[in-house]
Amino acid sequence: MAMQNKIKPSAAPIGVFDSGVGGISVLKHIRELMPQENLIYVADSKHAPYGNQTPDFIQERSYQLAEFLLKRGVKALVIACNTATAAAAAGLRERYPDLPIIGMEPAVKPAVAATKTGVVGVLATSGTLKSAQFAALLEHYGQGVEVVTQACIGLVECVEKGELTSPSTLALLKKYLEPLLNANADTIVLGCTHYPFVRALIEGLVGNNVVLIDTGAAVAKHLKSRLQDNQLLSASDELGNVEFWSNNEAVDTEVVVSALWGAKVSVAPLI
């Protein structure tokens, strides 16, 4: 306990978790904006995608992952998953009222502001699209425009396997983008943190006239603001450490995580 007291709160790591590896897209934005921060990333890949799970199950998993990260002394928590945010953010904030907790939500508001055709497309998991949080977003920001939603079953699994450019991933995207493009959507929300990893494929399919929106950069900015408000920004001049944990039982987990992160990393087993 005495040794723990010597560690300044600002030097503590930021905890980030997702149902799998998708939240690494958010982690990269955090790293780019605050390179001096120490980061711990947890991928609950064994239970991905959360969109296929019940809200109660997602909430319980989120509580367990938060406990895991808090035991490692994190100073803030990022729920890098739209579905987990909808199911568990409120409960986590009740449990840990003094901990800065940053969640995700599909970027409906900026998409509505950006559309010129009056049609916004949303790609997300079924869990996100069925959530009360998403319904509230549509109620608040979706008035006066047509919002076309598409549940992308199987797409998270493609990213989890590192299949970012495979024929099967391309075929899925073609199928899921078709109804959005047929409806004349000119703005598409990437409503799952896994989807930015197939952004290049999506861009190739939709062309230059369609704007793609994801919330990773906005989440990183919000996190920095919260840390600043709480005087928790790292004062270090050195590049922070990054830890990766996963319960994915696949043998190529480190290969996939390294490819998504953009550098070779080791991944510790999450029990």
Return the residue matching tokens 């930015």: 196
The DSSP bridge partners found for residue 147 are 120
Sheet holding 242-246, edge to edge: 101-102, 76-79, 14-18, 39-43, 242-246, 267-269
DSSP state of 148: E
Chain centroid to CA 96: 21
Are residues 90 and 114 in contact, defined by beta-carbon separation less than 8 angstroms? Answer: no
Is 158 designated active site?
no
Torsion angle, CA of 185/191/194/196, rounded to 10 degrees? 50
Please tell me which residue in 78, 81, 120, 148 is annotated as part of the active site: 81
Residues 6+ apart with CB under 8 A from 136: none
Please tell me which residue in 14, 188, 192, 242 is annotated as part of the active site: 192
Is 152 designated active site?
no
Residue 227: enclosing H or E segment and its boundaries? helix 216-229
Question: What is the spatial distance between Cα 248 and Cα 201, in angstroms, rounded to a whole number?
Answer: 25
Burial class (CB in 10 A: 0-12, 13-18, 19+), 215: buried
Burial class (CB in 10 A: 0-12, 13-18, 19+), 126: middle
Length of the chain: 271
- Active-site residues, by number, are 81, 192
